[in-house]
Structure 1
């Protein structure tokens, strides 16, 4: 489910990608509709950099992001598997294995929109 980024979303994106100056995907020219795909595909240099950036999130921000994932509002389909695995491990460490399993299920059922 595509959404317009809220002020909270933009704040989270600025936390994990402070170099972000605009909110347009360089590949599609469309406005960002999620946080994790642009982080993974445009800002993180590699999977470890992605994880380093995710670890910058407060517990509140991580919980907020997980709520968006579980509701279907945060897209996971375009995030590479290696990155999602690290994200899920971080969720497991910080929010518990049950929450991490729910995120994994969402990823397994997601598709990258065209």
Structure 2
């Protein structure tokens, strides 16, 4: 279900992509409804760039994003597996390994069509 980005979401998206003026997809003209998929698929030029960008986030921001992922508010569905592994690595470092494993499980279950 699409969601509107909160002020906290927008602040994180702007930190990850400061060169972006808006929060919309230039191709469709619609606002983004998540943070990580547009970063991975529309903003970062490659996995290295994605990894560099997500490395900017603080432990508090990772806790917030992890909570959004675990609640189902933040989507991982369109991310390539290597980007999900980078996200999980950051979560393991900044939040907990258990949360990182939960995020991996959510991703793999959604890829398999279980979720």
Q: Scaled by the length of structure 1, what TM-score is found?
A: 0.89
Which stretches in structure 2 are left out of the alignment for 5+ residues?
Answer: none
> Structure 2 CA distance, aligned partners of 1:106 and 1:2?
18
Q: Which moved more, 1:3-12 or 1:93-102?
A: 93-102
CA contact (8 A) 2:62 2:90 kept: no
Which stretches in structure 1 are left out of the alignment for 5+ residues?
Answer: none
What does 1:1-114 align with in structure 2 at a 5 Å threshold? 1-110=1-110
> Structure 2 CA distance, aligned partners of 1:27 and 1:41?
12
> Structure 1 CA distance, aligned partners of 2:71 and 2:100?
14
4+ runs of 1 displaced by more than 4 Å? Answer: none
How far does residue 60 in structure 1 lie from its aligned partner after superposition?
Answer: 0.7
Give the aligned CA root-mean-square deviation in angstroms.
1.3
CA contact (8 A) 1:75 1:110 kept: no
Using CA pairs below 8 Å that are at least 6 residues apart, which structure has the higher relative contact order?
Answer: 1
> Structure 2 CA distance, aligned partners of 1:8 and 1:19?
18
